[in-house]
Amino acid sequence: LVYSALAVLAAYLLGSLSFAVIVSRVMGLNDPRTFGSKNPGATNVLRSGSKAAAILTLALDAAKGWLPVALVRWFGAPYGLEEGTQALVALAAFVGHLWPVFFGFKGGKGVATALGVLLGVSGWLGLATLAAWLVVVSISRYVSLSSMAAALFAPTFFLLAGGPLWYADHRVAAAIGAMAGLLVWRHQENIGRLLRGTESKLGQSKNKAP
């Protein structure tokens, strides 16, 4: 139980590293919380004009979801850490991204971090969800819409393909379901803009207020 609690705390602290803000600061770009959608995420960093910064943000925000889950999966057993802890560290890293202790509890929407978590749970699950995201974004050009579609797809796929491809533990399923719900809930402003037809499309409107 002590190891489990420590793992969850470490995952929350790791998730609290808002890499959109950190990468932008290090690369001398504007703070993503001050322009565009005001969201500290890879998509909004892209609106600063730096593709490299956006890709780095995506990679690091995903890595912080992937690492704690992968560590528990690979090295947890001798410490008594199994799927219950895997589910909790996944949720902790995700919650850290949404409510980061280091950034006044004002975080992002959790898309990249959820992708990392899914890759940690199962490479196949992560890749399948990423593929769904890519299909929707290539058709619609809306990142937010694609993220929400992927969020609905992930838990469905986890439950449907569990068995042959991965062990669909019900606690991990619950964590993925909770992340999906929170992810969509964090996109409520995007939903409003999508309905009004004012949501910005990929490759459009750099630095323009939504």
Binding site for ligand NKO (CB under 6 A): 36-37, 39, 41-44, 58, 109, 111-112, 114-115, 118, 129-130, 133, 143-144, 147, 150-151, 154, 176, 179-180, 183, 190
Spell out the long-range contacts of 136-140 with Cβ–Cβ below 8 A and sequence spacing 24 or more. Answer: 137/202, 140/201
b/e code 18-31 from CB counts within 10 Å (16+ = b): bbbbbbbeeeebbe
Nearer to ligand NKO by Cβ, of 17 and 180: the residue is 180
In whole angstroms, the minimum distance from the beta carbon of 143 to ligand NKO comes to 5
Nearest residue (CB) to ligand NKO, 7 versus 143: 143
What is the closest distance, in whole angstroms, from the C-beta atom of residue 3 to ligand NKO in the complex? 26
Between 1 and 196, whose beta carbon lies closer to ligand NKO? 196
> What is the nearest approach in angstroms of ligand NKO to the Cβ of residue 112?
4
Q: Among residues 72 and 98, whose Cβ is nearest to ligand NKO?
A: 98
CB contact at 8 A, 91 and 175: yes
**Which is nearer to ligand NKO, 17 or 58 (by Cβ)?**
58
Residue 182 CB, nearest approach to ligand NKO (Å): 8
Closest approach of Cβ 103 to ligand NKO, in Å? Answer: 16
Question: Maximum Cα–Cα distance for the chain, whole Å?
Answer: 53
Nearer to ligand NKO, 4 or 129 (CB): 129
Beta bridge partners of 162: 166
CA nearest to 179, candidates 84, 101, 113, 81: 113
> Closest separation between CB of residue 155 and ligand NKO, Å?
7
In the complex, residue closest to ligand NKO by CB: 41
